[in-house]
Homo-oligomer: A and B are copies of this chain.
């Protein structure tokens, strides 16, 4: 089922702000060609292309050639790993909240 062809750690892929912005842009449209994505950044086409390659290696992006342009599409599902990971720790801050409210209640007495 879920292909584990990830050459690149998803945590690593989303670490860079530029790549997170790329993910966001691709979330807002179906399919965007490289030159159009590049227009959203100050850096050159080569740099953006490299970032997209990294996202592709993490399975977060799929590309497809149409005429002379390469169009990119988002595949969010690898982000599940992030969600699972962070979900485990969510109890640690909700627990703190619980303890805090308990402490506050105790001090009320």
Which A positions have Cβ atoms within 8 angstroms of B? 9, 11-12, 14-15, 17, 20, 23, 27-28, 74, 76-77, 79-80, 82-83, 85-90, 92-93, 96, 104
Contacts and interface: CB of A to CB of B under 8 A. Distances in A.
Contacts of A9: 15, 17
B86 A83 contact: yes
Q: How many copies does the complex hold?
A: 2
A61 to B, nearest CB: 12
Given A11-B14, A14-B11, A86 B86 contact: yes
Nearest to A84: B86
B90 A79 contact: yes
Contacts of A80: 90, 93
Specify which of A14, A28, A87, A89 lies most central, judged by the most chain B CB atoms within 10 Å of its CB.
A89
Contacts of A88: 27
A23 B86 contact: no
